[in-house]
């Protein structure tokens, strides 16, 4: 385990760092359907603060058991009987974790089986790529539970599916699964077999890219999306200036010029 990761004291996330630099991070509360209690949110912050500095080349974010994540720990929330200020501060911790993921510069591939609901969908939408299988289903049941989203769904889920679909999901409890979930943009891959195996394959492929290219892909696109077109074109130029002149890319360009590099083909 890389030094920064080995020092972590995570309570509810299991880590497995592969030789190729792919880190598998698994939510590890299957008895509670991986519901996000306050402790797990702190784990996510600690983990994704460490990941960009630990030499990790890509992350598979998985959930142990039949369900990826059941969202906010409703039992803890009920028992804590939080004040508005307390819950606001808790939501800010969720945002801290999810922003670290989205803007951290290391590709995160979510393997989504079973329920991906409420805050579980907010977590999944903070990853860069989502992989579903035949068991996966997505929902935002907050409306039916007398709640509202607090972990970034208004930002990320509405970006994925559009405002009108998100409002429908929240007003009616509508569930998306199968091809329809793919069609509305909730996932990029759907497999017959294990979403975990496919997520690992995708992560391994991403890990072959140069880290600086992945850093730009997994941070600049999100930052640029928050800017005016004028500032975005400036920022993109600055990022391209750094990434597209990196010495580590020279041999890849040379291989193309030599005609030894793979060409982009319809089946590649």
| Residue among 96, 122, 201, 254 flagged as catalytic | 122
- Identify the residue among 21, 63, 107, 118 touching ligand 1HE (CB under 6 A): 118
Interaction of residue 211 with ligand 1HE, rule CB under 6 A:
no
Interaction of residue 91 with ligand 1HE, rule CB under 6 A:
yes
Active site residue 80: no
3-state secondary structure string across 205-227: HHHCCCHHHHHHHHHHHHHHHCC
CB of 88 to ligand 1HE, least distance (A): 10
Contact (Cβ atoms closer than 8 angstroms) between residue 103 and residue 221: no
| Residue among 39, 86, 96, 142 flagged as catalytic | 142
Separation CA 29–CA 32 (nearest Å): 5
- Residues near 52 by beta carbon (within 8 Å), at least 6 away in sequence: 104, 105, 106, 215
Interaction of residue 117 with ligand 1HE, rule CB under 6 A:
yes
Interaction of residue 145 with ligand 1HE, rule CB under 6 A:
yes
Binding residues for ligand 1HE, rule CB under 6 A, total 23
Helix ranges restricted to H, the chain: 3-6, 38-50, 74-80, 84-103, 119-124, 153-161, 163-172, 178-183, 195-207, 211-215, 221-225, 229-243, 250-257
Active site residue 142: yes
At residue 72, what are phi and psi to the nearest 5 degrees? Answer: -50, 140
Task: Between 22 and 90, name the residue whose CB sits nearer to ligand 1HE.
Answer: 90
Piece of the chain touching ligand 1HE by CB under 6 A; list 100-108, 139-147, 178-186, 198-206: 139-147
**In Å, how far are 119, 130, 195, 203, 220 from 215, measured between CA atoms?**
26, 18, 24, 14, 8
Task: Between 68 and 189, name the residue whose CB sits nearer to ligand 1HE.
Answer: 68
Interaction of residue 33 with ligand 1HE, rule CB under 6 A:
yes
Site string for ligand 1HE, 65-84 (x = CB under 6 A): --x--xxxxxx---------
Task: Between 33 and 165, name the residue whose CB sits nearer to ligand 1HE.
Answer: 33
Let me know if 55 is exposed, middle or buried by CB neighbors in 10 A (0-12, 13-18, 19+).
middle
Contact residues toward ligand 1HE (CB under 6 A) are 32-33, 35, 67, 70-75, 91, 94, 115, 117-119, 141-142, 145, 147, 149-151
Residues annotated catalytic, as ranges: 122, 142
């Amino acid at each position: 385990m890389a030094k920064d990761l080995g020092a972590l004291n995570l309570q509810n996330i299991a880590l497995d760092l592969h030789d190729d630099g792919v880190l598998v991070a698994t939510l590890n509360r299957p008895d509670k359907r991986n519901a996000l209690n306050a402790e797990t949110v702190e784990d996510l912050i600690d983990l994704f603060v460490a990941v960009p500095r630990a030499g990790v080349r890509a992350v598979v974010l998985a959930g142990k058991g039949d369900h990826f994540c059941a969202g906010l720990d409703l039992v803890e929330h009920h028992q804590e009987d939080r004040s508005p200020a307390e819950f606001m501060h808790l939501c800010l911790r969720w945002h801290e974790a999810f922003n670290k993921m989205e803007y951290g510069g290391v590709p995160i591939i979510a393997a989504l089986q079973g329920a991906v609901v409420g805050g579980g969908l907010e977590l999944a939408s903070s990853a860069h790529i989502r992989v579903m299988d035949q068991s996966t289903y997505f929902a935002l049941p907050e409306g039916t539970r007398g709640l509202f989203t607090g972990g970034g769904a208004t930002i990320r889920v509405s970006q994925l599916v559009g405002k009108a679909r998100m409002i429908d999901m929240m007003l009616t409890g509508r569930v998306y699964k199968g091809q329809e979930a793919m069609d509305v943009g909730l996932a990029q891959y759907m497999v017959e077999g294990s979403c975990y195996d496919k997520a690992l394959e995708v992560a391994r492929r991403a890990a072959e890219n140069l880290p600086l290219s992945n850093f730009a892909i997994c941070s600049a696109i999100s930052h640029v999306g928050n800017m005016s077109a004028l500032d975005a074109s400036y920022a993109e130029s600055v990022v391209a200036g750094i990434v597209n002149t990196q010495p580590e890319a020279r041999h890849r360009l040379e291989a193309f010029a030599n005609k030894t590099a793979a060409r982009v083909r319809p089946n590649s």
